[in-house]
Structure 1
Amino acid sequence: MNKTLIKILKLNPDDENEATLEIGGFPIRCFIGHCPNAINEGEEHLVELTMYFEDDYKAVEAPERQPYMKNTNNGFSVEIAGHLDSNSLRSITILDDEDIHYDHPELNDKFIIVYADRLQVDFD
């Protein structure tokens, strides 16, 4: 379990499960999975980030070795570029690989782009 320092940029007043966070300098819309205490825009927190995938998710070798994250639609879908290193994806933060290395063994130890259904944030 890796903890990541984030800053809360925006909380959706119409959806308590949606927050836009600054992660490694990138604004990312995330799904709030666990949040036992009140949070406010502008605050910084150490959180756990988890990638969630559809059964037929896409992962490909990246043409460039530049880590990034970006939302791909108006929902929670996110494109993540980073180095797949056994059981972690080293992007703008280190994420557990959620079995990408099993589903795509040909991408192990390579710089990849993976398309996640959502990036979930869990606050302590």
Structure 2
Amino acid sequence: MVYTALVKRLDPQIEEEVIIEIEGIEFTGFAFICPYKIEVGKSYPVSIGFTILNELMIREIQGEKKEIERIGLGYEYYIRGLLHEDKIDAGLVFTDEDEYFFDYPELVDKYIEMKVDRISIEFLRTTTD
């Protein structure tokens, strides 16, 4: 899914780290694809995903909770929302590029919580680039 993201902060030490805001939700992510120079205070088209470095931790939760919660001061997040076959709707839709959810058919159409090591951001080209 394509969103318009407002760049709130760029980290001077870690080139890929960027704080963005999408539809009122602010989070820190890693710009793994950025085909042009981005600037603080400007908005860009993006798609978002997640990175799992070790093993996926996923479980069903009670209630209809959709949220993104940072864990401590690091890059890990809990993503809570409605699981679909290839994405999770946590207020923002995160696509499952690596097909992790394929191993959890019993959780499809249920509310889940998963722990991710980082949120990935792809800055997309526009027709004016």
TM-score past 0.5 threshold: yes
1:18 aligns with 2:17: yes
1:31 aligns with 2:30: yes
On the 8 A contact 2:85/2:105 being kept in 1, the answer is no
Give 1:38-77 correspondences, 5 Å limit: 38-77=37-76
On the 8 A contact 1:27/1:70 being kept in 2, the answer is no
2:127 aligned residue: none
Q: CA deviation at 1:8?
A: 1.0
On the 8 A contact 1:61/1:112 being kept in 2, the answer is yes
For residues 101 and 32 of structure 2, the distance between their equivalents in structure 1, rounded to whole angstroms, comes to 24
Q: CA deviation at 1:101?
A: 2.6
The farther-off stretch of 48-57 and 26-35 is 48-57
For residues 73 and 34 of structure 2, the distance between their equivalents in structure 1, rounded to whole angstroms, comes to 22
* Letter of the structure 2 residue corresponding to residue 21 of structure 1: I
Q: Secondary structure at the residue paired with 1:39?
A: coil
2:2 aligned residue: 3
For residues 60 and 112 of structure 1, the distance between their equivalents in structure 2, rounded to whole angstroms, comes to 5
Q: CA deviation at 1:49?
A: 1.0
On the 8 A contact 2:56/2:116 being kept in 1, the answer is yes
On the 8 A contact 2:21/2:27 being kept in 1, the answer is yes
What number of residue pairs does the alignment pair up?
123
> What TM-score, normalized by structure 1, do the two folds share?
0.88
Tell me: CA distance 1:53–1:93, structure 2 relative to 1, closer, same or farther (3 Å). Answer: same
Give 1:91-106 correspondences, 5 Å limit: 91-97=90-96, 98-106=98-106
The farther-off stretch of 94-103 and 24-33 is 94-103
On the 8 A contact 2:85/2:102 being kept in 1, the answer is no
> What TM-score, normalized by structure 2, do the two folds share?
0.85
Q: Secondary structure at the residue paired with 2:101?
A: helix
For residues 3 and 112 of structure 1, the distance between their equivalents in structure 2, rounded to whole angstroms, comes to 23
